[in-house]
Structure 1
Amino acid sequence: MSQRVKIAVAVTVALLGTFALGSVAPSLRTGPGPLSKRLRKSKTEKPLPEGIKRIYVDGVDGKLEVLTNEKSEDGRPEDAPLLMIHGGMGSARCYDKWAVYFASKGRKVYSLSIRGHGLSNRPDNFNSLTNADFCKDIASVVVYITESHPTSPAPVLIGHSAGGGLSQYTVSTLKPNTFSGVILLAPYPNTGGAPVYLEWIKFDPLFFPRFFWHGCDNMSPLSSPALVKRAFFSDGYDEGELKDFFNQMNPEETPGWPATMTNKFTDHEPVKMNAGGRVHIISASHDRLMTPPIMKKFVERYGCSSNVVEGSGHHMMFDNQWQVAARYVEAKLEEWNL
């Protein structure tokens, strides 16, 4: 092994070790961290989009917020409902634009805030919640959806970023055919998110100094609109929309969730099998986190269909190209006859 390779390995191990050690502090808290408390005070709740309402579904640990158009008279029973899962520091509001778009096409949409996110119940053990816990939240909402639409196909699961990782874990964990298909949006690779964390450190060299300055609060990397824009959006994203997006973000995040996806957390074969082979991946050309090389390897591993949203950053459901991404989903649903 050359000296250069040894140094690279040592630096990588040191960075990941620092991240792991830094994650211990927030996991010991029962309440929000110092930064999260400040962000919570400044958070504002926007009115819901027209045609979308808020309901609460009983979960295993309290009420779960779901945004839906379920009482709309539009739509066909032969169309599969859409269950949409947000990523880290997000909530059901991450799909506001898509909820309106797909509702206008006659689709029944359900956007879930998993435990401790949005207006869902925040349990005292929030900082230790993992994929396994949030999988139960999805399972609870699936039961509600299938009971509400007994003549429709099983829902299609759509997951973004960490929610895409959670979606893979959920599909591989629940019984086969719980979902008619799964669409992954710039998701955590099932082999683990360590390469993603390294990409974050590359474009944000102050990641760790800021993290420790903020008392090891998990919201530190996204603690300002400028940081959110750099991580989530393309350079041309509107500043006004950015401010609105920042204000509706979840003000805290459990360290347990990304920790359970740092290394390999599921195999791709059970995901494909349990979804009846209907897996589709959508990535973004200007994603600084789930970079094109990372997503290329991910798509090759799954051996499934895929799209790339040209010009979009990581958060393709809110970036300028959100309609392009939504149309990719729509086209795949039509191809699947769902």
Structure 2
Amino acid sequence: MTVSVLRLKEWAHPVAPVRREVLSATPELDEGRPPVLFVPGFGHGAWAYAEHWLEHTASRGFPAYAVSPRGHGASEAAPKADLRAYAHDVVQVAASLPRKAVLAGHGAGALVVTHALARYPARAAVLLSPVLGGVSTALRNPGLVLPALFGGGLRLPAGQLFSRELPVAAARAYAKRLGRASTRAQWQLLRGVTPERAVGDPPVLVVGSPDDKIVSPSALKDAARAYGGAPLLFPGMGHDLMLDARWREPIDATLDWLEKSH
């Protein structure tokens, strides 16, 4: 049975319930492997994983799920949501799964996962192209994040998200599907909110690309070092690993790691 970790604040000031979108793909034969719960970055939704990774993960024998945190994808709108609410959505979905899950977050979704890990005893975690917030995020992409400082949305054009290997039409189509996170969550991201210690100290893998135009190579190394490891890098890929032209490479490497670790 999966147990989530609750604190007094959660009881005194509970996060409001919402309708959440959860997409899934399951293996033909259940071999008892841990489910993988994918968490999208700000502006993305569960659809970003449903495009390729959900079915591929299931074909490798891992039950695969993707949640759209409130205000994202087809989940209920939540214009005043914060990181705590997003992490709550992840924990609630993870706790509903039949076995202890692996949490995999992309972009700012990786930051959400780090906060969820303080409340959910995950089997493992994967931080994909992690945007963990703070001043370094703003300094690397001032043109992208400046609107967020004044209540606007974080702008993520196709050229910042994908490599040149992905056809332009596909890249633009994906970019048009992007929404935006709440203003409050954007502020928290830019300010930098340090998560509490993960429950149970699960193994954590950091995955990214040295050619990511949003996350620097040094940021990837720092994120991995914080969890006692080194990043798994895929040169030539863009920020959105799950949608880029060579999407199979990072997910296969991640699942290989899970097989060896568990």
Conserved 8 A contact 2:40-2:48: yes
Deviation at 1:62, TM superposition (A): 2.1
Decide which of 184, 187, 190 is 2:130's aligned counterpart: 187
> 2-side partners of 1:181 and 1:239: how far apart?
35
Structure with the higher fraction of residues in helix conformation: 1
Deviation at 1:319, TM superposition (A): 1.1
| Map of 2:201 onto structure 1 | 276
1:100/1:200 Cα in 2 relative to 1: closer, same or farther (>3 Å)? same
1:313/1:193 Cα in 2 relative to 1: closer, same or farther (>3 Å)? farther
| Map of 1:75 onto structure 2 | 30
Superposed, which structure 2 residues align to 1:193-232 within 5 Å? 193-201=134-142, 204=143, 208=146, 211=147, 216-219=151-154, 221-222=155-156, 228-232=157-161
Matched, 1:121 2:87: no
Deviation at 1:336, TM superposition (A): 1.2
List alignment gaps of at least 5 residues for structure 1.
Answer: 1-58, 223-227
List alignment gaps of at least 5 residues for structure 2.
Answer: 1-14
1:289/1:243 Cα in 2 relative to 1: closer, same or farther (>3 Å)? closer
Deviation at 1:241, TM superposition (A): 1.3
Conserved 8 A contact 2:221-2:230: no
Decide which of 63, 78, 84 is 2:19's aligned counterpart: 63
Please list every run of at least 4 consecutive aligned residues from structure 1 whose deviation after the TM superposition is greater than 3 angstroms: none
> 2-side partners of 1:207 and 1:290: how far apart?
13
2:189 maps to amino acid: M
> 1-side partners of 2:34 and 2:223: how far apart?
26
Deviation at 1:294, TM superposition (A): 1.7
Matched, 1:159 2:131: no
| Map of 1:39 onto structure 2 | none
Conserved 8 A contact 1:162-1:258: no
> 1-side partners of 2:226 and 2:61: how far apart?
34
| Map of 2:91 onto structure 1 | 139
Q: Could you say what the CA RMSD is over the residues aligned between the two structures, in angstroms?
A: 2.2
Structure number with larger C-alpha Rg = 1
> 2-side partners of 1:322 and 1:170: how far apart?
25
> 1-side partners of 2:195 and 2:73: how far apart?
30
- What's the CA shift string for 1:148-173, capped at 9, x where partnerless? x2xx4x1000000100001001102x
Local SS of the residue matching 1:262:
helix
TM-score (norm. length: structure 1): 0.67
- What's the CA shift string for 1:121-140, capped at 9, x where partnerless? 113xx1x3111111111122
Deviation at 1:265, TM superposition (A): 2.0
Superposed, which structure 2 residues align to 1:219-258 within 5 Å? 219=154, 221-222=155-156, 228-250=157-179, 252-258=180-186
Conserved 8 A contact 1:83-1:110: yes
Deviation at 1:302, TM superposition (A): 2.4
Deviation at 1:107, TM superposition (A): 1.8
Conserved 8 A contact 2:23-2:46: yes
Q: How many residues align?
A: 246
